[in-house]
Amino acid sequence: MPDQEQNQQYDVTVIGAGVVGASIARRLSAYQLRVALVEKEADVSFGTSKANSGIIHGGFHHEGSYLKTKLELQGNMMFDQLQRELHFPFKRCGILVAAMNEEELKAIQFLYHRGRENGSAGIELCSRERTLELEPKLSPDVVGGLYAPIGGIIEPYRFVFSLVESALRNGVELYRDFQVSRVERDGADDFYRIFDRQDRKILSRYVVNAAGLYADEVSQLFGAEEFQITPRKGEYYLLDRMTQACPSKVLFPVPNQVSKGMLVIPTVEGTVLVGPTAEEIRDKEDLSTSREKLDSIFDSARRMVPKVSTRDVITSFSGLRPVLEGDDFYIEVSKKAPRLIQAAGIQSPGLTAAPAIGEYVKDLLKKAGLPLQEKPDYQAEVPRVPRVRDRRPFDVDDLVRRNPAYGNIVCRCEEVSEAEIIEAIRRGHRTLDGIKFFTRSGMGRCQGGFCTAKIIEIIMRETGLPYHEISKRGKESRVFWRSL
């Protein structure tokens, strides 16, 4: 094999840097392996992993026979340790399912028994009084509830960023803007030759397909199993942190056949999410939101929490669930393409299950013949990035003394300093969305009205990029299109 090819030669390539690919890459980074993580977008976590409810589920929604239920519970239990190592925003605030009539009370009794069978620790069936004591923001019409104390909330993109950062610190190589478009395998050697749209090439002995909505297309490129991923859209509205409707727990209605219903979710950063809808669509890129969904979302949410109001809305967005027939995760060694692991159909609770999926895929790779030898110098921890908004005023003085850029607040709504934006850029986030997800700049009440221009200036200064190469999220989303 020529020298140049040896440089691009990996033991394992993980396709897709969402929460699933990132968890797998990080898990593999603990072993003496050359691992590549490839992502078609300009940054990691720009797929389904950026737009979801951010809930760490409690293991009672699905039957115990599903693979996704086992991985959900295992994943849930891994979050405390992960937070100590990776410092992403996470709170085990608990989940409450509210029954609003006698019929729904029967449904939550069923969920309670399922949760107990599945092993959801501390799950509790609550009287009306106990339900209202746990969550006073609920409507007084509530008749009872189901409480799962192991449930929680995280900032999903920050979780993915930390996983990837940890993987990179332990030797994983990340290829952004690398859309796997062609694959060759020459029977004579052990390697897959994987090409992107510009014909850049990497070689890999083992491959993991964690391409989310596009896992069906990636599977075809490898001549592996044929299946179809259908996008199921979920629309959300984000409420300002001044809202009177912020609950202390994640509030679920009683679920139906297709979805978990319209939730009211406190985010780790103090805002509130209302949604999501569940609508099967065809277009895997359709992230639009619609006026007509707004009324049904709010009518439904107000039934549980009367103070939810459209006046508090600061933005809307949607995410697409990658749904596979059968509704379970499909995580297996391919029967058709040698040394390919399929990690497809990872819809909800994929975020919760992701750490356990990392473990599961590592074991499948071992079963498929990958030798795993632990790295003696593996470092589980990533350094914490100090944030002005987490500090008390005199602690901020101390930060500013050490680095004056902490004294320049760029995003006023979310109190993000210039130092934090510079740190995001130094850690490889060079689009407006990448910086927003890393720092929260532009996520507050004014949605970037005040800070976007300042952030563009900082990106240009720190990276040397000309203005016409600054983009919202890479590729065709440039902020300025023509020379002035």
Piece of 39-47, 96-104, 118-126, 385-393 that binds ligand FAD (CB under 6 A)? 39-47
Q: Which is nearer to ligand FAD, 38 or 108 (CB)?
A: 38
Instruction: Assess 90 for contact with ligand FAD (CB under 6 A).
Output: no
CB of 437 to ligand FAD, least distance (A): 12
Is residue 52 close enough to count as binding ligand FAD by CB under 6 A? yes
Nearer to ligand FAD, 361 or 421 (CB): 361
Q: Please give the structure tokens belonging to residue 185.
A: 């395998």
Among 10, 46, 159, 330, binds ligand FAD (CB under 6 A): 46
Does residue 212 touch ligand FAD according to CB under 6 A? yes
Q: Which of 163, 218, 239, 409 binds ligand FAD (CB under 6 A)?
A: 218
Taken as a whole, the chain contains a residue count of 484
- Residue among 142, 211, 229, 425 that touches ligand FAD (CB under 6 A): 211
Task: Rule CB under 6 A: say whether 16 interacts with ligand FAD.
Answer: yes
Nearest approach in angstroms of CB 283 to ligand FAD is 14
Shorter beta-carbon distance to ligand FAD: residue 276 or 434: 276
Q: What gap in Å lies between CA 167 and CA 379, rounded to an integer?
A: 9
- Known catalytic residue: 57? yes
Applying CB under 6 A, does 264 fall inside the site for ligand FAD? no
Catalytic residue (one of 57, 61, 62, 429): 57
Residue 275: name the closest of 316, 320, 245 by CA.
Answer: 316
By CB under 6 A, the residues from 440 to 469 that bind ligand FAD are none
Which stretch, 314-322, 396-404, 426-434, 442-450, contacts ligand FAD (CB under 6 A)? 314-322
Min CB(19)–ligand FAD separation in Å: 5
Q: Is 40 in the site for ligand FAD (CB under 6 A)?
A: yes
Does 319 bind ligand FAD (CB under 6 A)? Our answer is yes
Q: Which is nearer to ligand FAD, 144 or 156 (CB)?
A: 156
Among 144, 145, 152, 234, binds ligand FAD (CB under 6 A): 234
In our burial notation (b when 16+ CB lie closer than 10 A, e otherwise), range 332-364 reads ebbeebbbbbbbbbbbbbbbbbbbbbbbbbbeb
Q: Give the whole-angstrom CA distance, residue 205 versus residue 194.
A: 11
The answer to whether 53 contacts ligand FAD (rule: CB under 6 A) is yes
Is 121:327 a contact under the CB 8 Å cutoff? Answer: no
CB of 320 to ligand FAD, least distance (A): 5
Q: Please, what is the minimum distance in Å from the beta carbon of residue 42 to ligand FAD?
A: 10
Catalytically active residues are 57
The footprint of ligand FAD (CB under 6 A) covers 15-21, 38-41, 46-49, 52-55, 57, 178-180, 210-214, 218, 234, 276, 319-321, 346-352
